[in-house]
Amino acid sequence: MTTDLHTLLAPYSLDALEPPENTRFEAHLEQCPACQAELAGFQATATRLGDAVALTPPATMRSRVLTEIARTPQERPVVTAIAQRRSLRSAVPRMAAAAAFLVGTIGVGGYAIERDNAHEADARSTTITSVLAAPDAATTSKTFSTGGNVRLVASPAQDSAVIVANDLARLKGHKVYQVWMINGAGPKSQGTFTSSGTMIMHGAGGADSVAITVEPEGGSKQPTTAPIVTIAI
């Protein structure tokens, strides 16, 4: 089972895995940069196979699709904040704006749409930008092959960190992502999110790392699965 996960990559690229294996392989894929790189080439190959049997669709399909999308809202990579503490709840709109700023300006690969929001976000945010603006703020990011990314900005001087999860693959079966701050006393829950989320972590100066696990809806008291990502602070 552990030995031959890599042998699932080629069938995966053709959507030829049974559902349980598919789930298992996707979990592996997130942690396997070599698999991600190879998969891109396999998918490009499969794309040629699909392209090779192109066929003009009925003309009516075009107008139906265009009519449909005109009334279909888009899933924007807007960050919906999950505040665990009451003091943070009141800050949610501000945090959401600031998170858009964060996602758009930190690191490479941020989407232009988010950069467009940067100006107003910059003006309104306070808590998060104070972390961002800290002279010692350090950013770490991790992109998932199944979609989305996580960015962590930590400022030891402010004893705080901000974590932004952007557009991660939605989990099936009533599962959520749960964020943990880990220090010598063990992991401490920072909150959960379904696809995107941002949270401020105080006391980050004493933490060793931040981890994200997949947990049942509502979150767990302690992590019950291996982290999908661990970021050292």
Partner 1 sequence: MGANAAHLKLASSSTAGPTVDLGDLLVRTGRGDESAFAAVYDALSSSVYGMARRVIRDPSRAEEVSQEVFIQVWKTAARFDAQRGSAKSWVLTMAHRRAVDAVRHDQAASNRDRKYTSSNGPDFNEVEESVTLSLEHEQVRRCLAGLTDLQREAVLLAYYQGYTYAEVAEALNVNPATIKTRIRDGIVRLRDCMGIEA
* Residues of this chain that bind partner 1 (CB under 8 A): 4, 7-11, 13-18, 36, 38, 40-58, 61-62, 64-66, 68-70, 72-77, 109, 111-113, 143, 145, 147-148, 167
DSSP for 177-208 reads EEEEEEETTEEEEEEEESS-EEEEEETGGG-S
Q: Kindly tell me which of 64 and 89 has the beta carbon lying closer to partner 1.
A: 64
Task: For residue 84, give every residue at least 6 positions away whose Cβ sits within 8 Å of its Cβ, in sequence order, or none.
Answer: 189, 190, 191, 199
Give CA separation, 167 vs 1, 53, 96, 151, in Å.
Answer: 30, 32, 13, 12
Min dist CB 56 to partner 1, Å, is 5
Min dist CB 96 to partner 1, Å, is 16
Q: Name residue 141's beta-bridge partners.
A: 151
Min dist CB 67 to partner 1, Å, is 10
Strands 229-232 and 209-216: antiparallel
Of the candidates 76, 135, 127, 137, the one whose C-alpha atom is nearest the C-alpha of residue 106 is 137
Q: Kindly tell me which of 76 and 89 has the beta carbon lying closer to partner 1.
A: 76
Min dist CB 166 to partner 1, Å, is 10
Min dist CB 186 to partner 1, Å, is 34
Q: Kindly tell me which of 58 and 173 has the beta carbon lying closer to partner 1.
A: 58
Min dist CB 105 to partner 1, Å, is 17
Alpha carbon of residue 14 to chain centroid: 25
Q: Kindly tell me which of 117 and 155 has the beta carbon lying closer to partner 1.
A: 117
Rounded to whole angstroms, the Cα distance separating 176 from 214 reads: 6
Tell me, what amino acid is at 100? Answer: A
Instruction: For 146, list phi and psi in degrees, rounded to 5.
Output: -85, 5
What is the DSSP code (8-state) at residue 226? -
Q: Kindly tell me which of 73 and 135 has the beta carbon lying closer to partner 1.
A: 73
Q: Kindly tell me which of 33 and 203 has the beta carbon lying closer to partner 1.
A: 33
